[in-house]
Amino acid sequence: MRLFDHAAATSMRPSVQRALAEAAPLANPASTHREGQRARAVLEDARERLAAVLGAHPTEVVLTSGGTESINLALKGAWWAARDAGEPGALVVPVAEHHATLDAVAWLERQGAPVRWVGVDAHAVTDAEAVAAALVDGGRASVATMLVASNEVGSLQPVEAVADAAARAGVPLHLDAVGALGHVPLRFAETGAALMSVASHKIGGPHGVGALVVRRDARLEALHHGGGQQRGLRSGTQDALGASLFALAAEEALAELDAEAARLRALTERILTAAAAIEGVRLLVAEPRLPHIAHLVVEGAEGEALQFLLDEAGFAVSNGSACSAGVARESHVVRACGLTGVAPLRLSLGRTTTEEDVEALLGALPAAVARARALR
Amino acid sequence: MKVLAAMSGGVDSAVAAARAVDAGHEVVGVHLALSRMPGTLRTGSRGCCTVEDAMDARRVADRLGIPFYVWDFSERFHADVVQDFVDEYAAGRTPNPCLRCNERIKFEALLDRAIGLGFDRVVTGHYARVEHGDDGPQLHRAADWAKDQSYVLGVLTEEQLRHCWFPLADTPTKAAVRAEAAERGFLLAQKPDSHDICFIPDGDTRGFLAERLGAEPGEIVDRDGAVVGQHAGVHGYTVGQRRGLSLGVPSPDGRPRFVLEVKPSTRQLVVGPEEALAVSRLAGTRVSHAGPAHPGLAEGLDVEVQIRAHADPVPARARMVGDELVIDPAAPLRGVATGQSAVLYLGTRVLGQCTIDRTVAADAVPA
């Protein structure tokens, strides 16, 4: 099987696999005895290494169970904190965000939080001016959120412009960097954001580990209550091993970022060019884009059929998002770009992708597209 | 062969898929997501196509070591089955949604896709047998007549049957299927059978229809037009129904009365004595032949006809008149509802069916 779904979860790095296999038992890092202190040291080493990679201070790194928890903590936490301070302003949210964001925001909306939705263009790029206006029109917003790059289409988002506007308006900005980490340079302190979500499995670390970077001055309520770990923002026994594996993956990803980005950009460029020449295929992505994603849509085809044909031919691909029931629903991102009734295909590459993989895919793609189109 | 096993998450389709694997075929499992609101959990024998069902099917596929997918047919299902169900009731008819689902979803939408993707057959857990002969396929009753589902498959065409495989055809009983599922280590072996209509999980058909069609009260009248009671809404009543009628005026002879006719246009239910239900002729269009059409139908053929999923087949003479199938039961038949399918049998063989459009009351035909 050739994996073209690295954006869902990329292969675990060999170094991480080795470290996992050789890991020594660890005590609870909150325990005060020497064994606990040893575990605590492993945990805090990992936090410092992660902070260094993310361009943040270790105090700002709150470890979580992954991207979804980080995003929920950021958005619910920030809105609850604003509400508790007597300033229950709106959330500003682009419509083509990941479901972790959309569903958390929809839940807050049902709890009475006002939400200002912002549109995207035909390339899934958020309108920075619309965000800037939404931050202040009708009263100052409580929190704004944005992807660093569309996790489906791959287009980079106007982070700088939105961060500037957020700073001017005095609105804390959350960046969803889950899909961008390891693929574009990312220094939290330089983004101007108050909050930033990342996850380990996107860069070759273990699943179930993530972090929310929380700027010191950001007001945040906790989702989980208990032992008061991690500044009281995330109670629960901390996973020192998971944190150390995440840090290892992050360091490696950062070290190879420039070379890998260039290599993968060339490969995805090859896919995009070849795909665009296939009848019925359209591209939505706009430059600048994530280097490892080649997103295309096929007109007049059933997405499920197209994915099945490629899966059967030995290519693991995605339509852009995975759902719990395993049903590939129509992509809200593609719809937000103004298209319906098309079959999206997100081909995402990673560290293990070779040129031969890409050539094999391009050999199979035209026939799969033609066959999926013939089904309608 | 390369076969696509439709796996509902129930015992029957799980065992059917397992038998297809045992037979050495290349099997791919697929669960059809039919509900537009997935996420519900099953309660007893009610509910279908839930997240839990998809998971049950997935776990069977895991054990069988076959690839498994969930395909979303919810829009097609809503348009072709649920909406059809509502429309038919709105027209005063009594639809059979399971039959319609077989006709339009499992053996049309799914089968078309399967063929397009290079599969030879679609495998399901239905209790019925397809014989693939030189003259084309024939559909027959299953060995276990108690579980036989040939009635709801009677609507399939020759072309559809060509691509069907029902591995449970010769299973002696449902208990044997459960035992086999348990032997194979399927956790769902003791899962209750599904009853009722899958898209009405609480079983309240009248409530479901009232939500969509409104429930306007109206009169219950006898055959002479005299008002004998009131109802809360005509939808959901079926010809031949006795229960659920609240009649203020007792019948002159003190005998029970039955629904004879549902008239949505005047919001009236016509009731009368049991013998008034008797029909000596039923006829319908939308005729299909389960395999090559039997040549005898052109002239008239002695067959058996079954008018509901759980009715007994009765002797009848059937013939094609233009595009209409006309069926004269040997003895008057009761409880024939328009919208239901009249399936013709010759012994165990299904000859085809029509959707009943009209009936002729026994006392209306001169002897």
- A160 — contact with chain B (CB < 8 Å)? no
**Residues linked to residue B341 through DSSP beta bridges, in sequence order:** B355
B101 tagged catalytic: yes
Residue of chain B whose alpha carbon sits nearest to that of A327: B70
pLDDT (average), residues A70-98: 97
The residue type at A80: W
Residues A301 and A159 in one domain: no
CB B94 within 8 A of CB B235: no
Residues A212 and A270 in one domain: no
Between A170 and B192, the higher pLDDT residue: A170
Q: Is the peptide bond before A158 cis (omega within 30 degrees of 0)?
A: no
Instruction: Tell me the whole-structure pTM to 2 decimals.
Output: 0.90
CB B264 within 8 A of CB B235: yes
Residue A235 burial (CB count, 10 A): 15
Chain A closest-CA separation from residue B115 CA (Å): 9
Binding positions of B are: 6-13, 32, 125
Chain B closest-CA separation from residue A275 CA (Å): 21
Residues A155 and A125 in one domain: yes
Q: Name every residue in B having a CB less than 8 A away from some CB of A.
A: 31, 33, 38-39, 51, 54, 58, 67, 69-72, 112-113, 116-117
- pLDDT 10s digits, B300-345: 999 999 999 889 999 999 999 999 999 999 999 998 999 999 999 9
Residue A364 is part of which domain span?
Answer: 2-9+256-374
- pLDDT 10s digits, B224-276: 889 988 888 888 788 888 887 877 777 777 888 999 999 988 999 999 998 89
Residues A171 and A201 in one domain: yes
Instruction: Name the domain boundary from A232, A254, A276.
Output: A254
Chain B closest-CA separation from residue A317 CA (Å): 13
- pLDDT 10s digits, B154-188: 999 999 999 999 999 999 999 999 999 999 999 99
Q: Which of B33, B54, B117 has the CB atom closest to A308's CB atom? A: B117
User: Which helix or strand (DSSP H or E) is residue B350 part of?
Assistant: strand B349-361
Per cent of chain A over pLDDT 90 is 95
Residues 284-313 of A with CB under 8 A from B: 302, 304-305, 308-309, 311-312
Residue A185 burial (CB count, 10 A): 11
Q: Tell me what the pLDDT averaged over chain A comes to.
A: 96
Of A122, A266, A323, A375, the active-site residue reads A323
The residue type at A253: A
Query: What pLDDT, on a 0 to 100 scale, did the predictor assign at position B202?
Result: 83
Residues A266 and A211 in one domain: no
- The single residue listed with the structure tokens 């949604």 is B97
| Chain A residues with beta carbon closer than 8 angstroms to that of B67 | 311-312
pLDDT (average), residues A23-41: 96
Residue B365 pLDDT greater than 60, yes or no: no
Contact A375 B70 (CB under 8 A): no
The residue type at A288: P
> What is the Cα–Cα distance from A268 to B244, expressed in whole angstroms?
66
Which residues are CB-contacts of A192 (< 8 A; sequence separation ≥ 6)?
Answer: A160, A163, A164, A166, A167, A173
Residue of chain A whose alpha carbon sits nearest to that of B49: A325
> What is the Cα–Cα distance from B333 to B342, expressed in whole angstroms?
12
Chain A closest-CA separation from residue B123 CA (Å): 18
Structural domains of chain B, ranges and CATH numbers in brackets: 2-125+167-190 (3.40.50.620), 215-276 (2.30.30.280)
Contact A375 B58 (CB under 8 A): no
Query: What pLDDT, on a 0 to 100 scale, did the predictor assign at position B184?
Result: 97
Residues A280 and A352 in one domain: yes
Residues A61 and A134 in one domain: yes
Residues 328-347 of A with CB under 8 A from B: 328-329
Per-residue confidence at A224, pLDDT binned at 50, 70, 90?
very high
Query: What pLDDT, on a 0 to 100 scale, did the predictor assign at position B243?
Result: 80
A71: which 2 tokens?
């995003």
Q: How far is CA B277 from CA A161, B158, B259, B321, in A?
A: 77, 34, 8, 24
> What is the Cα–Cα distance from B79 to B36, expressed in whole angstroms?
11
Contact B116 A305 (CB under 8 A): yes
Q: What is the DSSP letter of B342?
A: E
Residue A72 pLDDT greater than 70, yes or no: yes
| Chain A residues with beta carbon closer than 8 angstroms to that of B33 | 325, 327
The residue type at A91: L
Q: How many domains does chain A have?
A: 2
| Chain B residues with beta carbon closer than 8 angstroms to that of A308 | 69, 117
Q: Which of A305, A311, A327 has the CB atom closest to B33's CB atom? A: A327
Residue B366 pLDDT greater than 90, yes or no: no
Positive/negative CA dihedral, A185, A188, A193, A197: positive
> What is the Cα–Cα distance from A373 to A278, expressed in whole angstroms?
12
CB B309 within 8 A of CB B272: no
- pLDDT 10s digits, B36-56: 665 555 455 444 557 788 899
pLDDT (average), residues A123-134: 98
Residues A59 and A147 in one domain: yes
- A85 — contact with chain B (CB < 8 Å)? no
Residue A102 burial (CB count, 10 A): 17
> What is the Cα–Cα distance from A328 to A223, expressed in whole angstroms?
29
Contact A326 B116 (CB under 8 A): no
Domain containing residue A261: CATH number: 3.90.1150.10
Instruction: Name the domain boundary from A254, A286, A301.
Output: A254
> What is the Cα–Cα distance from B57 to A349, expressed in whole angstroms?
31
Query: What pLDDT, on a 0 to 100 scale, did the predictor assign at position A326?
Result: 59
Residue A183 burial (CB count, 10 A): 29
pLDDT (average), residues B73-80: 93
Residues A215 and A294 in one domain: no
> What is the Cα–Cα distance from B356 to B358, expressed in whole angstroms?
6
Instruction: Name the domain boundary from A192, A226, A254.
Output: A254
- The single residue listed with the structure tokens 């939105």 is A162
B122: which 2 tokens?
């679609």
Residues A111 and A42 in one domain: yes
| Chain A residues with beta carbon closer than 8 angstroms to that of B53 | none
Residue of B48, B110, B113 for testing the chain A interface, max A β-carbons within 10 Å: B113
Contact A325 B51 (CB under 8 A): yes
Contact B58 A371 (CB under 8 A): no
pLDDT (average), residues B192-217: 86
> What is the Cα–Cα distance from B315 to B300, expressed in whole angstroms?
13
Chain A closest-CA separation from residue B130 CA (Å): 26
pLDDT (average), residues A224-239: 95
- pLDDT 10s digits, B85-113: 999 999 989 999 999 999 999 999 999 99
A337 tagged catalytic: no
Domain containing residue A57: CATH number: 3.40.640.10
- A33 — contact with chain B (CB < 8 Å)? no
Chain B closest-CA separation from residue A342 CA (Å): 15
- A327 — contact with chain B (CB < 8 Å)? yes
Residues A171 and A309 in one domain: no
| Chain A residues with beta carbon closer than 8 angstroms to that of B72 | 304, 327-329
pLDDT (average), residues A134-153: 97
> What is the Cα–Cα distance from A55 to A177, expressed in whole angstroms?
13
Which residues are CB-contacts of B252 (< 8 A; sequence separation ≥ 6)?
Answer: none
Contact B117 A325 (CB under 8 A): no
| Chain B residues with beta carbon closer than 8 angstroms to that of A309 | 117
Give the length of chain A. 376
Contact A311 B71 (CB under 8 A): no
Query: Which of A202, A268, A170, A251 shows the shortest CA–CA distance to A68?
Result: A202
> What is the Cα–Cα distance from B304 to B314, expressed in whole angstroms?
5
> What is the Cα–Cα distance from B302 to B328, expressed in whole angstroms?
10
Residues 233-272 of A with CB under 8 A from B: none
Which residues are CB-contacts of A36 (< 8 A; sequence separation ≥ 6)?
Answer: A27, A28, A29, A30
Residues A230 and A91 in one domain: yes
